[in-house]
Structure 1
Amino acid sequence: MIDLYYWTTPNGHKISLFLEESGLPYRVHPINITRDEQFQPDFLKISPNNKIPAIVDHEPRDSGEPLSVFESGAILLYLAEKTGQFLPHDLRGRQEALQWLFWQMGGLGPMAGQNHHFSKFAKEKIPYAITRYVDETARLYGVLDKRLADRAFVAGDQYSIADMAIYPWIVPHAWQSQNLDDFPALRRWFEAVKARPATQRAYALVERINPDAAKK
Structure 2
Amino acid sequence: MIDLYYWTTPNGHKITLFLEEAGLPYTIFPINIGKGEQFQPHFLDIAPNNRIPAIIDRAPADGGEPVSLFESGAILLYLADKTRKFIPGTLRGRADVLQWLFWQMGGLGPMAGQNHHFNTYAQDKIPYAIDRYVRETGRLYGVLNKRLADREFIAGDYSIADMACYPWIVPHERQSQNLDDFPHLKRWFDAIAARPATLRAYEKAQQINALPSVGDEESRKILFGQNAGTVK
TM-score by length of 1: 0.98
Partner of residue 154, structure 2: 154
Partner of residue 206, structure 1: 205
Are the equivalent residues in 2 in contact too, given 1:3–1:28 (CA < 8 A)?
Answer: yes
What RMSD, in angstroms, separates the aligned Cα atoms of the two structures?
0.8
Partner of residue 172, structure 2: 173
Q: Give the 4+ runs in structure 1 shifted more than 3 A.
A: none
Once residues 39 and 31 of structure 1 are traced to their aligned partners in structure 2, the CA distance between those partners, rounded to angstroms, is 9
Where does the alignment leave 5 or more consecutive residues of structure 2 unmatched? 214-232
Partner of residue 46, structure 2: 46
TM-score by length of 2: 0.91
Are the equivalent residues in 2 in contact too, given 1:6–1:12 (CA < 8 A)?
Answer: yes
Once residues 205 and 25 of structure 2 are traced to their aligned partners in structure 1, the CA distance between those partners, rounded to angstroms, is 18
Where does the alignment leave 5 or more consecutive residues of structure 1 unmatched? none
The total of aligned residue pairs comes to: 213
Shift, 1:212, TM fit: 2.3
Once residues 211 and 73 of structure 2 are traced to their aligned partners in structure 1, the CA distance between those partners, rounded to angstroms, is 27
Q: 1:80 and 2:50 equivalent?
A: no
Once residues 88 and 99 of structure 1 are traced to their aligned partners in structure 2, the CA distance between those partners, rounded to angstroms, is 13
Partner of residue 216, structure 2: none
Letter in 2 for 1:168: P
What SS does the aligned partner of 1:85 have? coil
Partner of residue 143, structure 2: 143
Partner of residue 107, structure 1: 107
Partner of residue 133, structure 1: 133
Once residues 206 and 38 of structure 2 are traced to their aligned partners in structure 1, the CA distance between those partners, rounded to angstroms, is 21
What SS does the aligned partner of 1:59 have? coil
Are the equivalent residues in 2 in contact too, given 1:2–1:26 (CA < 8 A)?
Answer: yes
Shift, 1:213, TM fit: 3.0
Letter in 2 for 1:139: R
What SS does the aligned partner of 2:45 have? helix
Letter in 1 for 2:155: A
Shift, 1:178, TM fit: 0.1
Q: 1:64 and 2:100 equivalent?
A: no
Are the equivalent residues in 2 in contact too, given 1:206–1:213 (CA < 8 A)?
Answer: no
What SS does the aligned partner of 2:8 have? coil
Once residues 195 and 75 of structure 2 are traced to their aligned partners in structure 1, the CA distance between those partners, rounded to angstroms, is 21
- 5 Å matches for 1:111-126? 111-126=111-126
What SS does the aligned partner of 1:68 have? strand
Q: 1:191 and 2:187 equivalent?
A: no
Once residues 162 and 207 of structure 1 are traced to their aligned partners in structure 2, the CA distance between those partners, rounded to angstroms, is 24
